[in-house]
Amino acid sequence: MFSLSLGVLIWAYSHLMKRITPGFRAKLGDGLGKGVATLLSVLALYLMITGYRAADVIVVWTPPDFFKHINNLLMLTAVILMFMKANRGTLRTYLRHPMLTAVKTWALAHLLVNGDVASIILFGGMMAWAVVDVIFINKMEVRAPKPAKGALINDVIYVVICLVVFVAIAELHKWLGYPVLG
């Protein structure tokens, strides 16, 4: 659990570095600062993945079976939100932080169906980071103008692509031993 927890903390720091230690980040400069943040993020991912897989299963609560369906709906929503800025339709004009909203949605979906301590640390920690990041961004950065609305057909194409990505993610989970759709 230590490496999992450390991974979550390093992930949060690597993504909040310029907001919580701006002097340190500025001293590094743009190129080195991004490099350090990237290296910390990769280290964090490694620690989270290996720590989660190695963690003992300590059950805190057992979710009801129907939460699986809520999880799938939330996960489809998270996939749609994750790359929303790439969409050239109208959907992208409704949210200020679609990627961080996707992380929060992803974390909530996984917390609903995983009632063990390692899952609470991983998904709860990622949700906490995303909430804190949104708070920092909203306090520190000027609100950018909303992007121009695009054609509705672009939204339809985007959602269809996201459905395909969602099915691919579900199949990957199945291959890893975590069937989510059936």
Provide the pLDDT confidence category of residue 176 given band limits of 50, 70 and 90.
confident
How does pLDDT run across 133-172, given as a tens digit for each residue?
999 988 887 777 777 777 778 888 888 888 899 889 888 8
Question: In the chain, how many domains are there?
Answer: 2
Query: In the chain, how long is the greatest CA-to-CA distance?
Result: 51
Provide the pLDDT confidence category of residue 95 given band limits of 50, 70 and 90.
confident
Q: Is there a single domain that holds both residue 32 and residue 17? A: yes
Domain extent, residue 41, equals 1-55
The set of residues, in sequence order, having a beta carbon less than 8 Å from that of 177 and lying 6+ positions away, is none
40, 55, 70 — which closes off a domain? 55
Q: Is there a single domain that holds both residue 78 and residue 146? A: yes
Confidence (pTM): 0.85
In contact, 10 and 2? CB cutoff 8 Å: no
Q: Is there a single domain that holds both residue 93 and residue 35? A: no
Measured between its terminal Cα atoms, the distance across the chain in Å is: 30
Q: What is the pLDDT of residue 182?
A: 59
